[in-house]
Structure 1
């Protein structure tokens, strides 16, 4: 499969997974957490499908498209672990989290996801969903929508 086809498949899985998760959490309290802003496409999509939810974003640097810039009070700039700990201290809880951190070096990305998994789990409301491009540990993995190949995108229930 070409890299272009792989990217298209990943983006379609991401969109389908987020749309499915947004429907699933409709009765749950809590905010939304986007881990990895990048250029802001996913954040923009989350704003569209969850217009009544506060969306917090964590990333090392703010370098998104200007139309996708989160409000300053919702953007936590820095390394993920201290930012997640700050949210824990504030008592914030999430109904949905999207995990999209990655350097492109699989071993490093998997290790970072494993290290951050317990913090993410502690931030979730019971029954909340985590949609992830990386495997997480210590959370029950569930099947996502039928339109997504089982290992293309991963889904976890808090």
Structure 2
């Protein structure tokens, strides 16, 4: 598979997963988190499909497209673990989290996701969903929407 085809498959899976999750959390109270802003495409989509929810963003640096800059009060700049702790200490609970952190080295990305899983667990609402490109630990894996190739995106429910 070409890199272009792989990218298109990943982005389609991401969009379809987010749309599915937005409907699936309709009865779960809480905010939304985009963990890893990047250039802001996912954040922009979340603003559109979950406009009624507060959307938190965590990233090391703010370097997204100018049209995708989150409000200052919703952007937590820094390493993920202390920023997740800050959300937890503030009493915030998440109905949906999109985990999109990575270094681009699979072994390193998997290790980081496992390391951050307990901190993410601390802010998830009971019944909340996590959509992730990396395997997480301590959550119940659930089937996402039909048509997403196995392993392309993972879907988890918080206990």
Say whether 1:110 aligns with 2:110. yes
8 Å CA contact 1:14, 1:153 repeated in 2: yes
State the match for 1:138 in structure 2. Answer: 138
Q: CA deviation at 1:115?
A: 0.4
Q: TM (normalized to structure 2)? A: 0.98
Q: Take 1:148 and 1:64, find their aligned partners in 2: how far apart are those partners? A: 27
Please provide the CA RMSD for this pair: 0.5
Q: CA deviation at 1:100?
A: 0.1
Q: Take 1:141 and 1:122, find their aligned partners in 2: how far apart are those partners? A: 17
Structure 2 unaligned regions, length at least 5? none
Structure 1 unaligned regions, length at least 5? none
Q: CA deviation at 1:124?
A: 0.7
Q: Take 1:128 and 1:79, find their aligned partners in 2: how far apart are those partners? A: 23
Q: SS of 2:122's equivalent?
A: helix
State the match for 1:44 in structure 2. Answer: 44
How many residue pairs are counted as aligned between the two chains? 158
State the match for 1:92 in structure 2. Answer: 92
Q: Take 1:122 and 1:84, find their aligned partners in 2: how far apart are those partners? A: 8
1:10-40 Cα offsets, whole Å, 9 max, x none, are 0000000000000000111100010000000
8 Å CA contact 1:34, 1:57 repeated in 2: yes
State the match for 2:80 in structure 1. Answer: 80
8 Å CA contact 1:143, 1:150 repeated in 2: no
State the match for 1:121 in structure 2. Answer: 121
Q: TM (normalized to structure 1)? A: 0.99
